[in-house]
Amino acid sequence: MKNVRWGIIGCGDVTEKKSGPGFQKAQNSELAAVMRRSADKAQDYARRHNVHVWYTDADKLINDPGVDAVYIATPPDTHKYYTLKVAAAGKPAYVEKPMARNFTECQDMIAACKSKNLPLFVAYYRRSLPKFLRVKEMLDDGIIGDVRSVTVTLFHPAQVEDYLENILPWRLVPEIAGGGLFFDLASHIFDILDFYFGPIASAKGFAGNQMGSYTAEDIVSASFAFENGILGSGIWCFSTNTHTDIIEITGERGKITIPAFAADPIILLTPDISESIIIDHPEHIQQPHIQSIVDELNGNGHCPSHGESAARTSRVMDWIIADWRQKEGIDFD
């Protein structure tokens, strides 16, 4: 087992606690270099996180011989761009979610890494978290019998920044994010459902903007069918006055309810069981996922989120908001 020396492109908020420290704290892993376009911010991040090398040029980080693998933590519009560069340098890439702005970009990323016989990892880290793995275990053990359906509800109140048209956060700019908050948040949900039940074979949806404060969708409804026959539906709205965060999995003998994002417990209900299960997330939520990547790179394990599985989630979201993108004239090809 050797230390995997990581470089980060894009040291934004997600790297401060969720991911960045995990590269230092995972076994056989170290954070060797970081990059931001602002020299002051790159130097400050390196100082605070005890990283000895920092850059303002991504190419220099990618080609640094002291960097073995690269974590791409930029917004989705540059994921393909940097992945192709990392692959050309002969190094594995770990890409933030969603994997790209659409399925076509995902395919290009997969092809570039395959051409160099390199792994491509994606930050769908719920696949590595104990809370979601407990649900996977219950499903695999058949506690609720054969699964019949899945229902997703995610409601968020609008944030102040959602109304500031001239300085919108990038997650609300489709040309950068691929869509709006649906694309950012529902991607986690569809990925964990793929992990639990396998690929979704088809999906249809409706999208709209009811708040009228930006061009991206702020409400989406969808129906979807898995290859194994399980059916699902979901509603996502980002202009409500309350928070609702529920994934309800219904089986022939009971149901499991779990939040996608909140700290609420897992609820298991069957004719014989009524159980509330609290499992806290680790301090650095991506650290277990990072550990799985390091272990795979060392030939001692397997990361559950690769380009192929992550691309399926992008394909599902493309299906759901296809009509909305066409109406708004959003085209990335």
Domain ranges within the chain, ordered by starting residue? 4-125+286-304, 127-282+313-328
Tens-place pLDDT, residues 222-233? 999 999 999 999
Cis check: omega of the bond before 157, within 30 degrees of 0 = no
Q: Is the pLDDT of residue 17 over 90?
A: yes
Task: Specify the pLDDT at position 239.
Answer: 93
Q: What is the mean pLDDT of residues 322-330?
A: 90
Q: What is the mean pLDDT of residues 35-61?
A: 97
Q: Is the pLDDT of residue 213 over 90?
A: no
Owner of token pair 């022939």: 252
Higher pLDDT, 331 or 151: 151
Task: Specify the pLDDT at position 165.
Answer: 64
Q: Is the pLDDT of residue 76 over 90?
A: yes
Q: Is the pLDDT of residue 24 over 70?
A: yes
Q: Is the pLDDT of residue 320 over 90?
A: yes
Please indicate whether the domains covering 4-125+286-304 and 127-282+313-328 agree at the CATH topology level. no
Mean pLDDT, the chain, as a whole number?
96
154 pLDDT band, cuts 50/70/90, is very high
What are the φ/ψ torsions at residue 97 (nearest 5 degrees)?
-95, 160
Q: CB–CB of 184/192 below 8 Å?
A: no
For residue 13, count CB atoms less than 10 angstroms from its CB and return exposed for 0-12, middle for 13-18, buried for 19 or more.
Answer: exposed
Task: Specify the pLDDT at position 30.
Answer: 97
Q: What is the mean pLDDT of residues 163-171?
A: 80
4-125+286-304 folds as Rossmann fold (3.40.50)
Task: Specify the pLDDT at position 328.
Answer: 86
pTM: 0.96
Alpha-carbon separation of residue 202 from 22, 186, 222, 310 (angstroms): 36, 16, 11, 16
Which residues, including other chains, have CB under 8 Å from residue 274's CB and lie 6 or more apart? Answer: 268
* Residue 256 to residue 233: CA distance in whole angstroms: 16
* Residue 288 to residue 19: CA distance in whole angstroms: 10
Q: What is the mean pLDDT of residues 135-157?
A: 98
Task: Specify the pLDDT at position 166.
Answer: 72
Task: Specify the pLDDT at position 333.
Answer: 65
Q: Which CATH architecture fits 127-282+313-328?
A: 2-Layer Sandwich (3.30)
Q: Which of 40, 59, 58 is nearest to 48 (CA)?
A: 40
112 pLDDT band, cuts 50/70/90, is very high
Task: Specify the pLDDT at position 172.
Answer: 92
Q: What is the mean pLDDT of residues 253-267?
A: 98
Q: Which of 220, 233, 207 is nearest to 324 (CA)?
A: 207
